[in-house]
Amino acid sequence: MQVKSMAEYAANGEMPEILFWVGCAGSFDQRAQKVTKAFATILNKAGVKFAILGKEETCTGDPARRAGNEFLFQMMAYNNINLLNMYGVKKIVTACPHCFNVLKNEYAALGGNYEVIHHTELLEQLIKEGKIKIKDGGSFADKKITYHDSCYLGRGNNIYEAPREVLAALKGELTEMKRCKSNGMCCGAGGAQMFKEEEKGATRVNFERAEQALETGANVIASNCPFCMTMLLDGVKNKEKEDSVKVLDIAEMVAQSLAD
């Protein structure tokens, strides 16, 4: 895919509408890369003028802060803020709730003030404005869908409706888990747990959450976070249901349902 970088825009004296912050998972994790491509495809289809940082993008520092290394977090954050401010970035979209939360709520204290939106919020906006159209009888029209609220988007930032509005536009049947919205359950990867081995216990958090999703009888488990996706995929595989139940990011679902 040909996606222009902020450096390329700056070299031409131009400014994109929005910076797409890809994040570590979206850049390097093979599964999450598919979400990145799907979201970029949607932005192109909608005619949104966007850019990425490319090789200039580094980790937000969120995992370092969650793991207790405040010094490393601040070092990484200052470098990112200096870069973003140099380019004059005003608006950022990201498909990772962890990047979203730290850029939106924690960078301001260090001099990074930006309008930060999650990709599900932008998708909802583009659908409402008619900039992207969902085809009739699309890929998910006859599917039973359950949606997992990621901690940093849901309880952390009180964003519950935007992802559900996007799923409603796909005309599938949304079946909620018993634990959803403000009573949702962590996938097991939050708080830097993604990068360490779990402590011993009766079961794994992601196995339990995946079981709750499977209990709904859904064909599709919709996710909004690369970490959640990894954990839910592992949970579904543990139950040997990966052939009958798909774990998909909402952007992938929209990309598969776009009208020509």
| Predicted pLDDT at 192 | 67
Please report, for residues 6, 201, 257, the alpha-carbon distance to residue 38 in angstroms, rounded to integers and kept in the order given. Answer: 20, 37, 11
The CATH code of domain 133-256 reads 3.40.50
> Matching CATH topology for 6-124 and 133-256?
yes
Domain residue spans of the chain: 6-124, 133-256
| Predicted pLDDT at 195 | 67
CB atoms within 10 A of CB 129: 9
Q: What is the reported pTM? A: 0.93
DSSP string, 90-129: -EEEES-HHHHHHHHHTSGGGT---EEEEHHHHHHHHHHT
Q: Which residue has the tokens 């204290």?
A: 109
Each of the 260 residues of the chain gets a pLDDT tens digit; together they read 889 999 999 999 999 999 999 999 999 999 999 999 999 999 999 999 999 999 999 999 999 999 899 999 999 999 999 999 999 999 999 999 999 999 999 999 999 999 999 999 999 999 999 999 998 877 898 899 999 999 999 999 999 999 999 999 998 899 899 998 888 888 877 666 666 677 777 778 788 888 888 888 899 999 999 999 999 998 999 899 889 999 999 999 999 999 87
Bridging pattern class, strands 91-94 and 18-21: parallel
Of 3.90.1300.10, 3.40.50.1860, 3.50.50.60, 3.40.50.300, the CATH number of 6-124 is 3.40.50.1860
